[in-house]
Amino acid sequence: MCLAVPGRIADIFEEHGTRMARLDFGGIQKTVCLAYLPDAVVGDYAIVHVGFAISRIDEASAMETLRHFRELGILEEELGEVADHEYSAPTPCPLPT
């Protein structure tokens, strides 16, 4: 269900009486409907699905999640796990070095 992609609100305007916005998605721009995010302002990031911004991205939560991931990594390094598990690592790609 549902391919949705984050973009940055670059411009907000009205079209056919509906709140619309131009969003920038890493170098391409697309007009999307912003009616469901009445509080969003230029510069916010939003998740877009089939031409509709459906959710604003919370920067603080994103940072928090990433920080948490990094801590997981540190913890794992300290424990020095992985090695003795019966899991076999994916075959490395036999590229020339």
Partner 1 sequence: MIDTETVTPSAPSFSDWACPLPLRDYPTIVLGHGGGGQLSAELVEHLFLPAFGTADAASLSDSTVLTLPGTRVAYSTDSFVVKPLIFPGGSIGTLAVHGTVNDLAMSGATPLVLSAGFILEEGLPMATLARIVQDMGAAAREAGVRIVTGDTKVVERGKGDGIYINTSGIGVVPAGRDIGPSRVRTGDVVLVSGTIGDHGMAIMSQREGLEFETTITSDSAALHTLVAELLVAAPGTRALRDPTRGGVASSLNEIARASNVGIVVDEEKVPVRGPVRAACELLGLDPFFVANEGKLIAIVPAAEAEAALAAMQAHPLGRDAAIIGAAVETHPGMLVSRTGIGARRVITMQIGEQLPRIC
Partner 2 sequence: MKYLTEFRDGAIAQRIAAEIRQITTRPWAIMEVCGGQTHSILRNGIDQLLPPEIELIHGPGCPVCVTPLEMIDKALAIAARPEVIFCSFGDMLRVPGTDRDLFRVKSEGGDVRVVYSPLDAVALARKHPDRQVVFFGIGFETTAPANAMAVHLAKKEGLKNFSMLVSHVLVPPAIDAIMRSPTNRVQAFLAAGHVCSVMGFWQYPPLASQHAVPIVITGFEPLDVLEGIRCTVRQLESGEARVENAYARVVTFDGNQPAQALLEEVFAVTDRAWRGIGVIPKSGWRLSDAYADYDAEHRFDVRDIRTVESPKCRAGEVLQGSIKPTDCGAFGSECTPRTPLGATMVSSEGACAAYFNYGRVVQLERVSA
Q: In the complex, which residues of this chain contact partner 1 (CB under 8 A)? A: 1-3, 5, 25-30, 48-50, 89-96
Within 10 Å of residue 36's Cβ, how many Cβ atoms? 13
13 binds partner 2 (CB under 8 A): no
Q: How far apart are CA 76 and CA 82, in angstroms?
A: 9
- The pair of structure tokens assigned to 2 is 């549902």
93 binds partner 2 (CB under 8 A): no
Task: List residues bridging with 19 in a β-sheet.
Answer: 14
> Smallest distance, Å, CB 25 to partner 1?
5
- Site string (28-47) toward partner 2, x via CB under 8 A: ----xx-xxxx------x-x
> Smallest distance, Å, CB 16 to partner 2?
7
Residue 10 interaction partner, one of partner 1, partner 2, none, beta carbon < 5-8 Å per kind: none
Q: How far apart are CA 91 and CA 95, in angstroms?
A: 12
Q: How far apart are CA 46 and CA 21, in angstroms?
A: 11
With CB under 8 A as the contact rule, the residue among 14, 43, 69, 97 that binds partner 2 is 69
